[in-house]
Structure 1
Amino acid sequence: MTTTSHANAPQTGGEDFTTSEGLRALLQRLHEEGRGAWQHDPVAAALMEHTARKYVPLARRHGLDPWEAATAAFEEMRRKGAREADDPWAYVTKGVQVTCIFEERAQGLMCSVHQARRPHISVFHDPERFSDRETPLSDYHPAFQIPDPQAAEEDEPGEVAVERAGKAGKAVEDAIDLVSSLDWPADVARAAVEHVCTALMRAGTRQAAYENLRRDRHSLALLDLPQSSWTALLRALLGNPNPAYAATSAGRGVLLRLLLEEPPEMLLRDDDLVLTISLAAPIHGRRRTRGETS
C-alpha cells in the first residue's frame, strides 16, 4: 500500500503520526486493513513506542508502568471515536487519563478497574491503618459520638433554618473569593471550596471531612491539584485537626470563622493564613508579580 510521505515523518516511512492528521490517517488505514494490521505494521510498532514515551509522565503520576498507559492508548486508538475526533491525540490522551485514574483507584481499593469505575464503589477511600491518621478515630467518627437526644427532638424553626442556610451560602462565597484573591485561579478555587463543603456536609464534622479528603486521590485527580496544595487548602478551610489548636484561629479554619461572622477583611489580616493559601496556590494558577514583565 502506497502512503504519502512528509518532511518530518518517522524514519519507518509511513504516516507522520506525531500530528493529529497523520494519526488519523494511520488509524484509518489500520482499521481498513483489518485483522493483523497492528501486529505486522512497522509504523504501528513505531506509534506504540512513541505512545509509551509520550505517556510516561501521566503513568508515573498515577503510580503506573508506562506500558499500562500505552495499553490504554492502544485501546483508545482502536475506537471509532479516535478516527472521527477533531483532534485524535486529544481524544486518546483524555481516554488514557481517565483509565489511569481508575487504574490507580482500583489498586488503592484492591478491586478490579471495572468495579472502580462504578460510582457507588469509587466513593470509598483506600484502606489504611488507624495509626496513619493525624486525628484519633474516636474524635471524629460518628460511631464514637453520643448525640444529645434532647437537642435532636427540638425542631428548628423555619426562619432559623433559612437564616442559617443564607449564612452558610455567604460563607462559601466569601471563602471562594478569599482563596481566589490569593493567587488561586477562580475556577479552581470555586471547585475546590465547593468540593470541600460537599464533603463537610456528608461527614458532619470538620475533623471527619478533613480525614476523608486528606488522602482522597480521586479528589486530587478531579481538581488537578498537587498533594501539597490540597493538604494546605484543607487545613486553611477546615482548620488544623490537632486538638492543641482547637481554640485558635488556625484550628477553626476559614469556613468556621466566616460562619461565626468574622469579616473577610479580618481573615486577610491573618498573615499566617494568607501565606499558607498563597504558597499553596498551584503553579499554573500563580499570577504575574508586579516586578515581572510580559
Structure 2
Amino acid sequence: MTRTLIAAASPEDHEFETPEGLRALLIRLQEAGPGAWRHDTEAHELAKFTAGKYARLARKYGLDRWEAVTAAFEAMRKPGTARADNPWAVVTEAVRLTCIYEQRGQGLLCSVDKARKSEVSANHDAERFADRDQALLEWNPAFQVGEPRIEDAGEEEPSPEVTMIEQAVFLFSRLCWPESTARNVIWYIYEGLERLGSRTSAFDVLRRDRLALALLDVKKDAWNTVVAVLLGTQNPAYAATNAGRGLFMRIVIGESFPELLSDEHLVRQIVESAPKPGGA
C-alpha cells in the first residue's frame, strides 16, 4: 500500500517533465487567464518540481532555491517559452543567467538589472575595509603619496560602446518601443556581436537564435528586422548604403539623431517591429 502511494506521487508521473508536456501546460495556463497559476493544481506541482530541479543550481551560486523558482516562473509566463523548440531548455538558461547576475549583483552591491550590463559586471566585487589585514592607507592607491596628477574634475565619461547603445535605445524608445525592452534587445545583439567578432557572423547566428525569442519575448519577424537594423543587411550589394552599414555603425560614424529620423525606411522598420502597436 505504501509503495503504491509513493509510486503514484513520483514526479516521474508528471507530464510537464517533458518539453512537450511543459508546453501543453503553459499553453493551457496562458489560455486560462489571470489567476490560473494561483489556483491550478498542476501549476502547484510544477512549482514543487521546479524547486527540486533547480535547487542544486541555486546552491552553486549561493542562492535560495526559491529564487531559482522565481526566475523559472518568470520565464514560463513569457509567451515565447511555450513557442520554443524545448521550453525546458529556455527555462533552464533563464534560471542560470538569473543566478549568475544575482550573484554578481550581490558582489557589486547593485540590482540584478544593473549587473546584467556588461560595463557594470566587468567591475570587481565590492570590498569592505575589514576584508584586508592591512590598513586602508597602506593598500589603496587613492591614499598613496606621490607625484601630483592633474585629473578631470568631471565625471568619468561612458565608453564609446555604451554611448552607442544608449543612443540606439533612445531612438527605439522614441519610435514605439518600451525603453526596457529596447535596452534588453539591443544589449543582447551587441553582446552577440562582441562575442562573435564580426557583423556577418553575428548577423547569421543571431537570426537563428531561437533562445533570444523566448528570453526577450520578441516575435521572429520583429527579431530579424531588429538584427538587420542594428547590424546592417549583410549583402555586399548594400555595403555602401545605410541599410548595409546598420544603426550601430551609423551612430559610430557620427550620424545625428535628426539625420537618423529623416531616414523613412529606418523609422518604418523600427516602428513596425515594436512589441506594442501605435504611436507611429
Larger RCO: Structure 1 or Structure 2 (Cα < 8 Å, ≥ 6 residues apart)?
2
Shift of 1:168: 2.6
Does 2:256 align with 1:286?
A: no
The one-letter amino acid of 1:76's match is: L
Shift of 1:278: 0.4
Does 2:192 align with 1:199?
A: yes
Does 2:35 align with 1:76?
A: no
| Corresponding residue to 2:203 among 185, 195, 210 | 210
Shift of 1:286: 3.2
Task: Give the conservation status (yes or no) of the 8 Å contact 1:200–1:209.
Answer: yes
Does 2:38 align with 1:56?
A: no
The 2-side partners of 1:267 and 1:115 are apart by 36
The 2-side partners of 1:74 and 1:184 are apart by 34
Q: Give the direction of change, closer, same or farther, for the CA distance of 1:95–1:189 in structure 2 (3 Å limit).
A: closer
Shift of 1:166: 3.1
Shift of 1:56: 3.2
Task: Give the conservation status (yes or no) of the 8 Å contact 1:73–1:95.
Answer: no
| Corresponding residue to 1:219 among 207, 212, 217 | 212
Does 2:210 align with 1:240?
A: no
Aligned match of 1:104: 86
TM-score by length of structure 2 reads 0.51
Per-residue Cα deviation, 1:30-86 (whole angstroms, up to 9, x for no partner)? xxxx636669xxxx9xxxxxx987533789xxxxxxxxxx9x95852544969xxx9
Does 2:244 align with 1:274?
A: no
Q: Give the direction of change, closer, same or farther, for the CA distance of 1:178–1:288 in structure 2 (3 Å limit).
A: closer
Which structure 2 residue ranges, 5 or more long, are not aligned? Answer: 15-21, 31-39, 53-65, 98-156
Per-residue Cα deviation, 1:233-261 (whole angstroms, up to 9, x for no partner)? 01111101111100000000100000001
Count of aligned residue pairs for this structure pair: 181
The 1-side partners of 2:85 and 2:202 are apart by 25
TM-score by length of structure 1 reads 0.49
Equivalent positions of 1:168-207 (< 5 A) are 168-207=161-200
The 1-side partners of 2:24 and 2:84 are apart by 21
The 2-side partners of 1:57 and 1:268 are apart by 42
RMSD of Structure 2 on Structure 1 (CA): 4.6
The 2-side partners of 1:171 and 1:92 are apart by 32
Q: Give the direction of change, closer, same or farther, for the CA distance of 1:57–1:184 in structure 2 (3 Å limit).
A: farther
Shift of 1:225: 0.2
Shift of 1:95: 7.3
Per-residue Cα deviation, 1:201-256 (whole angstroms, up to 9, x for no partner)? 11111111111100101111110000011000011111011111000000001000
Task: Give the conservation status (yes or no) of the 8 Å contact 2:23–2:82.
Answer: no
Task: Give the conservation status (yes or no) of the 8 Å contact 2:50–2:72.
Answer: no
- Residue aligned with 1:183, SS: coil
The 2-side partners of 1:95 and 1:166 are apart by 31
Shift of 1:104: 1.6
Per-residue Cα deviation, 1:4-44 (whole angstroms, up to 9, x for no partner)? xxxxxxxxxxxxxxxxxxxxxxxxxxxxxx636669xxxx9
Q: Larger Rg: 1 or 2?
A: 1
Task: Give the conservation status (yes or no) of the 8 Å contact 2:72–2:92.
Answer: no
Aligned match of 1:15: none
The 1-side partners of 2:182 and 2:274 are apart by 9
The 2-side partners of 1:80 and 1:168 are apart by 38
The 2-side partners of 1:74 and 1:103 are apart by 24
Q: Give the direction of change, closer, same or farther, for the CA distance of 1:53–1:202 in structure 2 (3 Å limit).
A: closer
The one-letter amino acid of 1:222's match is: L
The 1-side partners of 2:174 and 2:165 are apart by 14
Aligned match of 2:252: 259
The one-letter amino acid of 2:201's match is: A
Aligned match of 1:230: 223
The 2-side partners of 1:80 and 1:272 are apart by 45
